[in-house]
Amino acid sequence: MAMEFKKPSRRQFLIGGSVGVAVGGGLLLGYAVSGPSRRELAEGAAAEGGERFVTTWLKISPDNVVTVYVPHSDMGQGTITALAMMAAEEMEADWSLVRAEQAPAEKAFANEALGNRFLAGEDVPPMLKGLNAAAWTKVAQFMNMQITGGSMAVRYTGHHGMRVTGAAAKDMLVKAAATRWGVSPSDCVAALSIVTGPNGQSATYGELAADAAEYAPSAAPVLKSKKDYTIVGTARPRFDIPGKVNGTAKYGIDAEVPGMLYAAPKLAPVFGSTVVSYDASEILSRRGVKQVVEFPGGVAVIADNYWRAKEAAAALDVTFDTKGGETVSSESIFAGHDAAIATGESEEDKVIGDAASAFAAQGADIVEASYRVPYLAHACMEPMNCTVWIRDGKADVWVGVQDALGTRARVADISGIDFDNVKVHPMLLGGGFGRRIPIREGFFNFPSEIDFATIVAKEVGAPVKFIYTREDDIQHDAYRIASSSRLRVALDGKGLPTAWENIYVHKDEPGEAPHIPYAIPNQSIRFVEVENHVPRGPWRSVAHTQHTFFNESFIDELAHRAGADPYEYRRALLEGQPRHQAVLDLAAQKAGWGKPLAEGRFHGIAVQQSFGSIVAEVAEISVTDGAVRVHRVTAAVDCGEVIHPDTAAQQVESGIIYGLTAALYGEIAIEGGAVAQTNFTDYEMLHLSETPVIDVHFIESGAPIGGLGEPATPVVSAAVGNGVYAATGKRIRQLPLKNHDLTPTPGKLAQAAD
């Protein structure tokens, strides 16, 4: 990044407004870089009669209810509940009086903690790093972010934001009570949303809120010790679940606006195509069809019912100019990877020691293998959609996204309407996994349904709900990249690597994903860039998905070649990495590694650090009639600290199932410049019947809190592939597994016993 930003000090970061503004006598506790304006903004946006914000994220109402505004979306990962728990713990709130909701898409609720972690140079997720300098200027200016991704809500917003803001709120409430009673704050105690004084006085937070808002938040509130936690570390029921079992939960696709019409697109199959011509005369005579609107790369049919729009769009004959894109195929893309790697002209990623000399050393045993993974679609259960209403120089947007503020900025850009006149109504997300991050310059820069819906809405004099079919969703995603890696090692006489070389395709984020934790003295990790027209974007765990498969499968190859146990071999190479060794040990122990398994069952193991957490997984598999079955996955996770044990375990289960689906079935193939797969019928999903038993164990090492939304995902593909090797002697170097014929040939199973 060319530009440098001044790092805000912790003090600057915590200086709140001098005085809270009375909006009917409630309280907002100000956690503000920018002075009192932020609390005013928050109150204007989300406080009603009698309510006050104590920070931009904490609102207390006169009836003593605390509402926590979480600047992230909850896609089911439990963020809103977990972050509310972190704030409530430090605030000494009575959990039964705590509510939580997603913050409105207003700048007052932008995620400062995240921006500050970025400015402090911490490891932050790819959607931030991908921002170019110009975009960052804007971000730095406005902290215009509500991004949910990179497994960062708990570790950044929660730890650096919610905890501090909760503690500051408690201090302000105590000060207000002490002043009211003419006693010292140190003689007052806050507990269960009540402050108690030395002479038996007591007042609820709701009664104190207006007074408390008069104080600036303390610069460095003291946080509680873990031993005193009563909320964090317990499995509180999630706020979002009741509405998800009775049909009342409203996702983007459920937006209802009076007078609303529906739009279905006819999208160019080949990426990068433009519309040449179309004849809408037949479909315009159909029942309910109102109009057609062209947008870059497609035509939308507007009707009074989505089915009518969809059927008409399917019948619409559009001629596209494919701009030569039709010559691109998976075959040509992978041939391009191989050619680029073969040229030897690569760029440096990470270099340790002198790998070239080690490879050239006399007697070095050199082992080489090439790995490859295909494109992957996200396939969120809720097909992409966006409802936009443009009239009188204003836009209203109903959508479920991983960055409501970013969406607001994007709609403003596309529509030409001023940011202040764009209102985003955040809806629930039917899955995200990285797909629902709005466009970012340089990282996720492809035209999406949000753009199309906005363009269409400008042409239609009514609110329009624009919806992709599942086919549109599968064929017009921003895909996990297809990637290839050529790995090479030089081995010493004991089969341990003296040099590690990796040349891979596409430098992606997070930047450390291709790096290895193993103590190998000479390393040369390099990459090549090969451009093509397939849109790419972040997919759960981003670059870790491919690199963990590559590296952890290759290490397994080396272990077998050395005649070593794959677990012990890794362990030996992880000298000096106690957290890695600990998760490896725990996963191995809980899985019964090395102990006899049921007949036909085999183990594979893998380990990886990502998003601040370290995960080891042991997969127990069998191969029957050439097909793999995964029976059990045992996971050991060091995420530093567990906030909500139940959702933490759920995220690990979820990550494993997401990764396992990709390992077994995931493949987006390009044919004739377009995606060959169409729906769940040919882009297959794991079902309940195939789901393994998943056994999750946490280590709370006390290391800085790590993420949990993603780290379990990348490990499983290598663990399963390594298990397949143990079972069949066949090394899986390309995914998905469904493409491999694993039918045993005579002698192979005997070999598997090596």
Q: Shortest gap between Cβ of 310 and other proteins (angstroms)?
A: 8
Q: Is 591 in the site for other proteins (CB under 8 A)?
A: no
Q: Using CA atoms in the order 597, 577, 542, 414, what is the torsion angle rounded to 10 degrees? A: 150
Determine if residue 546 is left, alpha or beta; phi over 0 gives left, psi from -120 to 50 gives alpha, anything else beta.
alpha
Q: Shortest gap between Cβ of 686 and other proteins (angstroms)?
A: 8
* 389's tokens: 């209403």
Q: Is 151 in the site for other proteins (CB under 8 A)?
A: no
Q: Is 751 in the site for other proteins (CB under 8 A)?
A: no
Residue from 285, 494, 689, 741 touching other proteins (CB under 8 A): that is 689
Q: Shortest gap between Cβ of 263 and other proteins (angstroms)?
A: 13
Exposed / middle / buried, residue 281 (Cβ in 10 Å: 0-12, 13-18, 19+): exposed
Cβ density class 55-84: b for 16+ within 10 Å, e for less? bbbbbbbbebbbbbbbbbbbbbbbbbbbbb
Residue from 89, 92, 171, 382 touching other proteins (CB under 8 A): that is 382
Binders of other proteins among residues 383 to 412 (CB under 8 A) are 383
Q: Is 534 in the site for other proteins (CB under 8 A)?
A: no
Q: Shortest gap between Cβ of 269 and other proteins (angstroms)?
A: 17
Q: Is 476 in the site for other proteins (CB under 8 A)?
A: no
Residue from 71, 426, 432, 463 touching other proteins (CB under 8 A): that is 432
Query: Of the listed pieces 323-331, 368-376, 685-693, 699-707, which binds other proteins according to CB under 8 A?
Result: 685-693
* 659's tokens: 């990764």
Q: Is 667 in the site for other proteins (CB under 8 A)?
A: no
In which residue are the tokens 């006050």 written?
52
In the stretch 245-274, what mask flags binding to other proteins with x, by CB under 8 A?
xxxxxxx-xx-x-----x------------
- What's the chain's Rg over C-alpha atoms? 27
Residue from 180, 470, 631, 731 touching other proteins (CB under 8 A): that is 470
Which has the closest alpha carbon to 424: 434, 438, 444?
438
Residue from 173, 316, 428, 616 touching other proteins (CB under 8 A): that is 428
Query: Of the listed pieces 76-84, 207-215, 294-302, 452-460, which binds other proteins according to CB under 8 A?
Result: 76-84
Task: With both helix axes pointing from N to C terminus, report the angle between 449-459 and 404-415 in degrees, rounded to the nearest 10.
Answer: 40
Residue from 20, 76, 104, 729 touching other proteins (CB under 8 A): that is 76
Residue number, 200 or 237, with CB nearest to other proteins? 237
- 326's CB contacts (< 8 A; 6+ apart) are 270, 672, 673, 674
Residue 655: CB atoms within 10 A of its CB come to 28
Cis omega before residue 510 (within 30°)? Answer: yes
Residue number, 160 or 540, with CB nearest to other proteins? 540
Q: Shortest gap between Cβ of 718 and other proteins (angstroms)?
A: 18
Query: Of the listed pieces 327-335, 508-516, 542-550, 653-661, which binds other proteins according to CB under 8 A?
Result: 653-661
Q: Using CA atoms in the order 733, 738, 744, 750, what is the torsion angle rounded to 10 degrees? A: 40
Residue from 279, 680, 704, 745 touching other proteins (CB under 8 A): that is 680
Residue from 24, 49, 198, 242 touching other proteins (CB under 8 A): that is 242
Residue number, 470 or 507, with CB nearest to other proteins? 470
Longest Cα separation, the chain: 88
Q: In what order do the strands lie in the sheet with 602-610?
A: 602-610, 613-624, 627-638, 693-699
* 15's tokens: 């200086």
**Residue 99 in contact with residue 68, Cβ under 8 Å?**
yes
- Chain centre distance of CA 634: 22
SS3 call for 682:
coil
Q: Is 519 in the site for other proteins (CB under 8 A)?
A: no
DSSP codes of every residue in 516-571: --S--SEEEEEEE----SS-B---TTTTHHHHHHHHHHHHHHHHHHTT--HHHHHH
Please report the beta strands in 702-746, taking only residues with DSSP state E, as ranges in sequence order: none
* 40's tokens: 């005013």
Q: Report the distance separating Cα 557 and Cα 561, nearest Å.
A: 6
Could you report how far apart the first and last alpha carbons of the chain are, in Å?
49
Q: In what order do the strands lie in the sheet with 194-196?
A: 189-191, 194-196, 202-204
Query: Of the listed pieces 146-154, 198-206, 506-514, 655-663, which binds other proteins according to CB under 8 A?
Result: 655-663
Q: Is 500 in the site for other proteins (CB under 8 A)?
A: no
Q: Is 738 in the site for other proteins (CB under 8 A)?
A: no
Residue from 650, 677, 722, 728 touching other proteins (CB under 8 A): that is 650
Q: Is 691 in the site for other proteins (CB under 8 A)?
A: yes
Residue number, 686 or 737, with CB nearest to other proteins? 686
- 363's CB contacts (< 8 A; 6+ apart) are none
Q: Shortest gap between Cβ of 294 and other proteins (angstroms)?
A: 24
Residue from 363, 599, 681, 741 touching other proteins (CB under 8 A): that is 681
Query: Of the listed pieces 134-142, 272-280, 423-431, 745-753, which binds other proteins according to CB under 8 A?
Result: 423-431
Binders of other proteins among residues 537 to 566 (CB under 8 A) are none
Residue from 274, 305, 357, 745 touching other proteins (CB under 8 A): that is 305
Residue number, 57 or 468, with CB nearest to other proteins? 468
Q: Is 679 in the site for other proteins (CB under 8 A)?
A: yes
> What is residue 157's DSSP assignment?
I
Q: Look at the alpha carbons of 102, 107, 108, 111 in this order and tell me if their dihedral is positive or negative.
A: positive
Q: Shortest gap between Cβ of 224 and other proteins (angstroms)?
A: 26
Q: Is 430 in the site for other proteins (CB under 8 A)?
A: yes
Residue from 230, 685, 738, 750 touching other proteins (CB under 8 A): that is 685
Q: Is 694 in the site for other proteins (CB under 8 A)?
A: yes
Q: Is 727 in the site for other proteins (CB under 8 A)?
A: no
Q: Shortest gap between Cβ of 308 and other proteins (angstroms)?
A: 8
In which residue are the tokens 């995960």 written?
615
Which has the closest alpha carbon to 716: 648, 659, 661, 667?
659
Residue from 15, 27, 58, 75 touching other proteins (CB under 8 A): that is 75
Which has the closest alpha carbon to 414: 440, 453, 472, 466?
453
Query: Of the listed pieces 73-81, 128-136, 726-734, 737-745, which binds other proteins according to CB under 8 A?
Result: 73-81
Residue from 222, 241, 356, 360 touching other proteins (CB under 8 A): that is 241
Q: Report the distance separating Cα 140 and Cα 110, nearest Å.
A: 11
SS3 call for 254:
helix
Query: Of the listed pieces 115-123, 162-170, 324-332, 463-471, which binds other proteins according to CB under 8 A?
Result: 463-471
Distances (CA, A) of 666 to 309, 330, 376, 469: 30, 14, 6, 20
Q: Shortest gap between Cβ of 335 and other proteins (angstroms)?
A: 32
Residue from 398, 554, 569, 658 touching other proteins (CB under 8 A): that is 658
Residue number, 340 or 429, with CB nearest to other proteins? 429
| Chain residues that interact with other proteins, rule: CB under 8 A | 75-78, 235, 237-238, 240-251, 253-254, 256, 262, 287, 305-307, 379-383, 428-433, 467, 469-471, 646-647, 650, 653-658, 679-681, 685-689, 691, 693-694
